[in-house]
Amino acid sequence: MTSETVIEIENLRFRWSRGGEFCLEIPAFEVRAGERIFLYGPSGSGKSTLLGLLGGVLVPELGRIRLLGSELTRLKPSARDRFRADHVGFVFQQFNLIPYLSVVDNVLLSCRFSARRRARAMAAGGSLHDEAARLLAHLDLEEALHRQGVTRLSVGQQQRVAAARALIGRPEIVIADEPTSALDAERQAAFLALLAGECRAAGSTLLFVSHDRRLAVGFDRELSLASISPACGEGRAA
């Protein structure tokens, strides 16, 4: 089970404009099921670009991306969107929430676009709301906040709601793009611990991306973008 490959990249090349420089050139990169990976690199080095490729929102010019055995690069755009909805949860840096939805509805947003995650969330919690509430409680968000609008939450609380949304319905892959950079140092560690713990509980593979190497505590693997994409951005200079 643990040796199963979840993310597999081969000979990938991506550039933002035809004729421009390649932003990413990854000969090979693999992540196994259940792994927790810390990927770091200076800002502007192409970390978010890589995550866009893994999410199926961007397509490489060359090479293959295989997620959970499906070749993402061969799928039609709508099938890639569907794949992302079913199998990948995202947490971003900031402003992760839809301002006009309540806390619970923000969490359930993932289930609105994926029947698979809806079914898995229901199986886990009995009902969608119960599962959302359970996850939120695990992430230290008390019951009273669940029905609230999200705009009154602190940044730290908002990030935990975003984590719950990424985790609900137990997607195989959770991708976090600098989710802690808007938090102060103490909260960064606490958030990381919570996220990692929930990923373990859900059996999800975690790909955590940051420019700040100090955060790399408690991960299975820690690697720099430059090491997997030697030709890339700042990595090339180093």
Partner 1 sequence: MSPLLLLAARSAWNRRLTLGMTLIAVALSVTLLLGVERVRHEARNSFAQSVAGTDLVVGARTSPVQLMLYAVFRLGEATHNIRWQSYRAIAENPAVAWSIPLSLGDSHHGFPVIGTSSAYFEHFRYGDAQALAFSAGKPFAEIFDAVLGAEVAARLGYRPGNRIVLSHGMGDVSLAEHTDKPFTVVGILAPTGTPVDRSVHISLEAMQAIHLDWQGGAPLPGLSIPAEYVRKFDLTPQEITAVLVGLKSRAAVFKVQRDLNTRSAEPLLAVLPGVALDQLWQVVGIAERTLLAVSAMVVAVGLAGLVAVVLAGLGERRRELAILRSVGARPSEIFVLLTAEGLFVTVLGALLGAALLALLTALLGPLAQAHYGLAIRARWISSDELALLGAVVAVGLVASLLPGYRAYRISLADGLTPRL
Ligand X SMILES: Nc1ncnc2c1ncn2[C@@H]1O[C@H](COP(=O)(O)OP(=O)(O)O)[C@@H](O)[C@H]1O
Positions touching partner 1 (CB under 8 A) are: 48, 51-52, 55, 57-58, 77-78, 81-82, 84-86, 90, 92, 95-101, 109-110, 112-114, 165, 177
Task: State the DSSP H helix or E strand holding residue 11, giving kind and residue range, or none if neither.
Answer: strand 5-14
DSSP assigned state of 102: B
Is there binding between residue 94 and Mg ion (CB under 5 A)? Answer: no
87 part of the interface to ligand X, by CB under 6 A? no
Q: In whole angstroms, how close is the CB of 38 to Mg ion at the nearest point?
A: 15
Closer to ligand X by Cβ: residue 107 or 166: 166
Q: Strand 24-32 relative to strand 221-224: parallel, antiparallel, unpaired?
A: unpaired
Instruction: Report phi then psi at 212, rounded to 5.
Output: -105, 105
Compute the residue count for the chain.
Answer: 238
Angle between helices 115-125 and 103-112 (to 10 degrees): 130
Select the residue interacting with ligand X from 16, 95, 100, 113 (CB under 6 A): 16
Stretch that binds ligand X, among 47-55, 102-110, 128-136, 137-145 (CB under 6 A): 47-55
CB-nearer residue toward partner 1: 3 or 20? 20
CA nearest neighbour of 88 among 134, 122, 46, 57: 57
Binding residues for ligand X (CB under 6 A): 16, 23, 41, 43-49
